[in-house]
Amino acid sequence: MESFDQLSASEKAEASELQRMIAVEQQKAQFQAQVHTFTDVCWDKCVESPGSKLDYRTETCLVNCVERFIDTTLNITNRFTQMVQRGAQ
């Protein structure tokens, strides 16, 4: 197998584009996993008996649960980023 340094410019461009596409797909998969996680958590927390439609109380609970889940995830991510940046200095 050739090393990256031995590839032509067009092959390097193709490899870089492929890496970018893989990174995008990984981000999509991570986002989907996150959505499934908070769907499961919030459903278990808020929905007592599923019916044909959500009542106001259940809908409000679900909205609040998802918003708190997102807030918490963002806070953890930001905190981790700060810790990494401090460590790099």
pLDDT per residue over 26-72, tens digit each?
A: 988 988 898 888 889 999 999 988 777 888 999 999 999 989 988 98
For the chain, the structural domain boundaries read 7-88
For residue 55, the SS3 value is coil
Query: Which class in CATH covers the domain with range 7-88?
Result: mainly alpha
pLDDT per residue over 11-22, tens digit each?
A: 878 888 888 889
- What is the pTM (predicted TM-score) of this model? 0.57
Cα 73 to Cα 78: distance, rounded to the nearest angstrom: 9
Tell me how far the alpha carbon of residue 13 is from its chain's centroid: 27
